[in-house]
Amino acid sequence: MWVVNVPDYFLVSLSNRENLELCVKYNLAGFTNSINGLWTFFDISVGDYISFLYGARVRNLYRVVRKVAYKNARDLPPWPPITFRSQKTYYFPFRLFLKPEREFNEPMVRQEFSYVAENLLLRGGYRKTHFQADTVTFYKVSEMGNPFAGEPEYLELNAETFEPKIVFDRKNQRIPEKFYFRELILQSLVRKKLGVTVLRDVLEIFEVDNSPEEFEVLGEKALPEGYVDIFIKLKHPSALNRYILAEVKTGKAQKKDVEQLRKYLSEYGNEAVGGLLIAKDFSRSAFEDDRIIPVRYYFKELDPFGEYSYDELLSMLKLEIVV
């Protein structure tokens, strides 16, 4: 098994200018007590890099140095609770502490941001907490603006913390401490597991000469036909790229999932190597297309009434190609 600890780079989408200025002032990113907020908190790891995205502009480059979830965070500064038209109120228990690396304020239309900009364009707007960029984008961003000079300011909070858990019995959900297992969480887990488990075998099956180390496994990618859950491509393509598209389902993969994956593959023509359909179980149609490989997931020694941290689930997650 090969393991390469390469940091990921994300653009974190912010809803308003005040939020942006607070994030920049305190070198802090906060996420709500929603499944999207938890997903972002899980998906971005310590050591990863982020920039802030607001108003079609990208601000600064930061390295994540600490992740903290706070209890009773409704009244914790710097963000007040937000109440939407649905009358649901959200607050910010999930926080990322950041080390500023570079200072810049650049328009999203720059060619360097084209990978993420395409996602935004096809989505018709933000409507997502974060966007993962590719390696080429990160390298280019690492040369923008100027290195940060000075001592970063942090907001010290004297508040009780907790480790968020995932449960598999909906009755045990107690937000924000315990969330019911959802597809977004599975997608994040699978993304981090694929490269160090079945990717080598997948490349052999598809008769691809490149090594697994030459590929990067990225999060959701917007396409004209929809959104593919996991997008695998060469880090540094030469003349041609090689794409593997993966769809993730928490339950049983159906015929419609196979057909959708076929449509996604058609978007990339001859550069599409093939697709992965990752699910708990499969209908017969999942085995009818030799360009699609069924991959079964399961959690080793899972107690359906237990509660688990993200890291525990990541270590328990198993991926197996179904022959």
Q: How confident is the model at residue 226 (pLDDT cuts 50, 70, 90)?
A: confident
Which pLDDT does position 85 carry in this prediction?
80
Question: E strand or H helix at 130, and its extent?
Answer: strand 130-133
Angle, helices 183-194/35-43, rounded to nearest 10 degrees: 10
Which pLDDT does position 224 carry in this prediction?
84
Q: How confident is the model at residue 125 (pLDDT cuts 50, 70, 90)?
A: low
Which pLDDT does position 150 carry in this prediction?
87
240: number of CA atoms within 13 Å, CB side? 10
Question: Which domains does the chain show, CATH number per domain?
Answer: 9-162 (3.10.590.10), 183-321 (3.40.1350.10)
Rounded CA gap, 50 and 61, in Å? 6
- From the list 32, 35, 33, 307, the residue with the least C-alpha distance to 172 is 307
Kindly state the average pLDDT of the residues 103-125. 85
Fill in the amino acid letter for 50.
I
pTM check: above 0.85: yes
Rounded CA gap, 94 and 229, in Å? 23
